Structure 1
Amino acid sequence: MKIKLVKRANPQKKTEKKFYANAVNAGRKTLRDISRDIAGRSSLTRGDIDNVLLNFVECLPGYLRDGFSIQLGEFCTLRASLSSKGAATEKEFKTESIKPRIVFTPGVELKRALSETTYETAKGEMEIKGG
């Protein structure tokens, strides 16, 4: 994984600055890209895989709205969470203030796979943030 070093101020000691690792974004993978990659590793066609992935993505919001958490094997668990503005009384509460969030909890296998990542500093990639 390519990283860039970012110099940031310490939140506790504003005058102290240290370098921290940030992942370099290599771009984006679309469902079509993923379908093509999976098709190259299986006996299914890209169209078959496209169909499965698109149907999967279309089903997720309904499951989350219905209150289910979604366990994707050892990969992860997804669940809905809400944030809202507080109200002094139940009667004063406005549902318009509710903002849905998705909580992604990586599974043991994903954590293990990522813990084995090696890192390289991208050439010329250094930013200074926070002063």
Structure 2
Amino acid sequence: MALKYVIKKRIFGFDKTKAEKYVAQNVITNTVEFRDLCEEITKVGMVPSGAVKFVLDALIDTLNINLRKGISVQLGDFGCFRPGMNCESKDAEKDVDSDTIRRVKIIFTPGYKFKEMLSKVSIQKMVASNDDTISSGQPDPNPDDDKEEAPDPEA
């Protein structure tokens, strides 16, 4: 499987020219829900799904506690989480205060296994059609996978 991208036009307003440029934009092709992720971990790690869910929930809670304290959390080969922020720049030191902080965020730095995966991943260009659907130009190997019957709301 390859990472997919489309080409998008962007307007860069850093100067008065408002230059239009083209950039590659990542396409997210699907999302793994938490329950499904727990089931996958159960199959790979041979641990009961309830235990996997309990440990992951506890990990999230512990990450929240430590990140709120301003502590960086290293998770071995997985990577490191740390708090960060985006701030407005000011000409004078006295003008910088908490109001200049635009956004508080979590920064994830991947561990070596993720970095290795990223250095070896293949990249595939997607084509956007006139109706804004995206296609790789290749036939869908599983055309019926995303055509599930809608669940009965009365059930």
Fold match, TM over 0.5?
Answer: yes
Alignment TM-score, normalising by the size of structure 1: 0.71
Distance in 2 separating the partners of 1:112 and 1:7: 28
Verify: 1:49 aligned to 2:82, yes or no: no
Task: Give CA deviations for 1:62-119 in whole Å, capped at 9, x if unaligned.
Answer: 11122211111122111112345678379xx557967422111122221111111112
Match for residue 88 of structure 1 among 94, 97, 108? 94
Distance in 2 separating the partners of 1:10 and 1:97: 25
Match for residue 100 of structure 1 among 100, 104, 111? 104
Identical aligned pairs, as a percentage?
23
- Cα distance 1:96–1:22, how it changes in 2: closer, same or farther (>3 A)? closer
> 2:45 aligns to what SS in structure 1?
coil
> 1:41 aligns to what SS in structure 2?
helix
Match for residue 116 of structure 1 among 113, 116, 120? 120
Partner of 2:149: none
Distance in 1 separating the partners of 2:9 and 2:99: 38
Verify: 1:69 aligned to 2:72, yes or no: yes
> 2:94 aligns to what SS in structure 1?
coil
Higher relative contact order (CA 8 A, sep 6+): 1
Q: Which moved more, 1:79-88 or 1:32-41?
A: 79-88
CA contact (8 A) 1:77 1:107 kept: yes
CA contact (8 A) 2:86 2:103 kept: yes
- Matching residue's letter, 1:23: N
- Matching residue's letter, 1:4: Y
Distance in 2 separating the partners of 1:9 and 1:54: 39
Alpha-carbon shift at residue 5 of structure 1 (Å):
2.7
